[in-house]
A and B are shown apart, each in its own frame.
Chain A
């Protein structure tokens, strides 16, 4: 089995996600793009796991999903909190931590 296509797809998905994180300003979309990057890596892990013939990569993929779920919980929680305080939903305006 040739894994090249899987890896190329994974790389494309990852690049799209990374580009989204860098370009978009809405925190909600940034969170979506992060998910995309995580799933791109999951795809690569599963593909390599199949190619190698052992299950380690699939285990990693499961762990990444758990981490992603946690991250979404925290991230969405933050976004909801920002919304309720009527803060602008724009990451460029949230720069109180500048030095």
Chain B
């Protein structure tokens, strides 16, 4: 089979899984929906491998294959096909997406086993994977926008999955609204592209762009910035990041899949996909890189202070995506996409571990109430430590190679790009610190009652409560069940975490400077027209960067050890000492309050003004005045309608007589 046939199969399996779970929820027994969903994604992963093999058979220059099912619209120069583009970049993405998704489905089979919405969950989750694969396989901007919007909807549906929990529904709406801002940006970008180039097709656009646009032409920069609006809304970069921490209201595997491993990296993919435009508009690319840098430092500082376990990891995700955005914006495409993959491994792993910990704590997410879970959760703690090591960039783990490659590329590019290297290493220090803040706060220290209970062999099941507000919840439909599942006891969770743990450690081996460069070689087929792709740093520079990165990671871990284990109480003392700074970080730099003051309240005020003045006075005034005018004229004219037939006849005859007389007089 050809690579494109595999591409269609990749899309077909998740869609089929989604429909089966959606329509079969009444008849599917027990965990059947979960296994069907997992199998569908696993088959999609196998098809992705098929596409990879088929693509590798072709020479490097001809690895961009397109295929279309039918034409959406074909009129007046507009030709939109339901077409996919199978090239190294999209195959790389579908491998990462379907591979990680399959493991997270496997994890969910057990984790959500006692949830009443089991089939609904897997239907949504399969729909998400379908949308994400559609997004990365799309062969033109229109289909990209379709996938983009589907993904946004799937994210909304899964964040609001426990729909009786009002914090979850609000978080879902917030995510949806901010994602729609991004959709609008992307739609406008596509519109401008069509206006100037007359096509939506990727390959035609990228082929025509260098002839049509001069470097840094205004309209091209506008297009790139509009694309960035879409990318940043989806990837939770400044200033559109506020939805991602709130998205943690969804079930933990959802956070792992959508809000860490796949959907939020769509923006990174988009920038890499449209790299011919960004290379023609270096200004836009630099803006993108600086926003990425700002985001990565901002989010890392917030992760130092917040105490909600999932929100720490969420801010870490925002920060890590900042690295990827910097990477693909400065031209380190292979490195940025490499980090996308390794991040998917270790961040999904961290979220899975967090899910297991939260289950062991009977739903509590606050790390202030955790501690000493190391002996109670031996497997989870080891895997979480592996994930944290990879996140921190501990030498020879996957994050170590991918992160430093971006930063070395930046320093190698010359000019002002050294800023990204310095900022990146600074944030790497913070990253190592907060990664081990999680580990030391959760697994070290004095065991909490739940940990002791679990050591005694009994898993705590508290009364279900909203982890955010502490309000009690009923366990009827639309709420997490009272039962909890931990990795130590459930085989599917165990298997998924173990696989990701291994990948988090050895994933870096795909691209070790001086030894191999599998990803760079493979992705070259999609970046043949890129001027920056080949300008990779020397092996020596790479290893220097890796040495610095390793030292920074070790320093961060050591600092965390000192603060949280060697001298417990240091962090509390620091928080007291620098109370304003701590409050600033705990409140996430007051971004939510800023939006509340700048967007929400003025909007409400405009709305009040509109109902009070425009609606009451202007609109109602126009309507009332029209009615009154018609009625007034009617009163005057109505007198003529007496109802006397003879009066009408007199008027008629008199009128004709008058006319006749007039004409007689005029003509004589």
User: Which residue numbers of A lie inside 8 Å of B, CB to CB?
Assistant: 18, 21-22, 25, 30, 91-92, 94-99
Contact = CB atoms under 8 A, between A and B. Distances in A.
B643 A96 contact: yes
A30 B637 CA distance: 27
Interface stretch (B180-188, B624-632, B645-653): B645-653
B638 A99 contact: yes
A94 B643 CA distance: 8
Contacts of A18: 653
Leading 6 A-B pairs by shortest Cβ distance: A98-B643, A95-B643, A99-B641, A99-B638, A91-B645, A97-B643
A25 B646 CA distance: 8
B642 A91 contact: no
A8 to B, nearest CB: 16
Interface residues of B, number: 13
A99 B640 CA distance: 8
Interface string B304-342: 000000000000000000000000000000000000000
A94 B644 CA distance: 8
B642 A98 contact: yes
B639 interface: yes
Contacts of A22: 646, 649-650, 653
A27 B641 CA distance: 20
B646 A21 contact: yes
Given A97-B641, A98-B642, A99-B642, 6 more contacts: A18-B653, A22-B646, A22-B649, A22-B653, A91-B644, A99-B638
B642 A95 contact: yes
B102 to A, nearest CB: 80
Nearest to B641: A99
A96 B643 CA distance: 6
Given A18-B653, A22-B653, A91 B638 contact: no
Interface-centre pick from B637, B639, B649 (highest chain A CB count, 10 A) = B649
A98 B641 contact: yes
Interface of B: 637-646, 649-650, 653
Contacts of A25: 646
A30 B653 CA distance: 14
Contact of B646 (A92, A96, A98): A92
Contacts of A21: 646, 649, 653
A37 B638 CA distance: 30
Contacts of B639: 99
A57 B653 CA distance: 23
Contacts of B650: 22
A53 B643 CA distance: 45
A56 to B, nearest CB: 22
20 contacts: A21-B646, A21-B653, A22-B646, A22-B650, A22-B653, A25-B646, A91-B644, A91-B645, A92-B644, A94-B643, A95-B643, A95-B644, A95-B645, A96-B643, A97-B641, A98-B642, A99-B637, A99-B639, A99-B640, A99-B641
A95 B353 CA distance: 90
A82 to B, nearest CB: 13
Contacts of A91: 644-646
B640 to A, nearest CB: 7
B645 A94 contact: yes
A98 B644 CA distance: 8
A97 B639 CA distance: 12
A21 B648 CA distance: 11
A30 B646 CA distance: 10
B643 to A, nearest CB: 3
Contacts of A96: 643
A24 to B, nearest CB: 9
A25 B647 CA distance: 12
Nearest to A92: B644
A22 B650 CA distance: 6
A21 B650 CA distance: 9
Contacts of B644: 91-92, 95, 98
Contacts of A97: 641, 643
A22 to B, nearest CB: 5
A95 B650 CA distance: 16
Contacts of A99: 637-643
A97 B648 CA distance: 12
A98 to B, nearest CB: 3
Interface-centre pick from A18, A25, A30, A94 (highest chain B CB count, 10 A) = A18
Nearest to B654: A22
Contacts of B640: 99
Contacts of A92: 644-646
Contacts of B637: 99
B654 to A, nearest CB: 9
A90 B517 CA distance: 109
A99 B646 CA distance: 16
A97 B644 CA distance: 9
A95 B640 CA distance: 13
Nearest to A98: B643
Contacts of A95: 642-645
A67 B337 CA distance: 91
Contacts of B649: 21-22
Nearest to A97: B643
Contacts of B642: 95, 98-99
A92 B640 CA distance: 15
A94 B641 CA distance: 13
A82 B641 CA distance: 22
Contacts of B638: 99
A25 to B, nearest CB: 8
A68 B176 CA distance: 75
B633 to A, nearest CB: 12
Contacts of A98: 641-644
Nearest to A25: B646
Nearest to A99: B641
Nearest to A24: B646
Interface-centre pick from B637, B642, B646, B650 (highest chain A CB count, 10 A) = B646
A73 B650 CA distance: 24
Contacts of A94: 643, 645
A40 to B, nearest CB: 13
Nearest to A96: B643
Nearest to B649: A21
A95 B643 CA distance: 4
Nearest to B656: A18
A34 B642 CA distance: 22
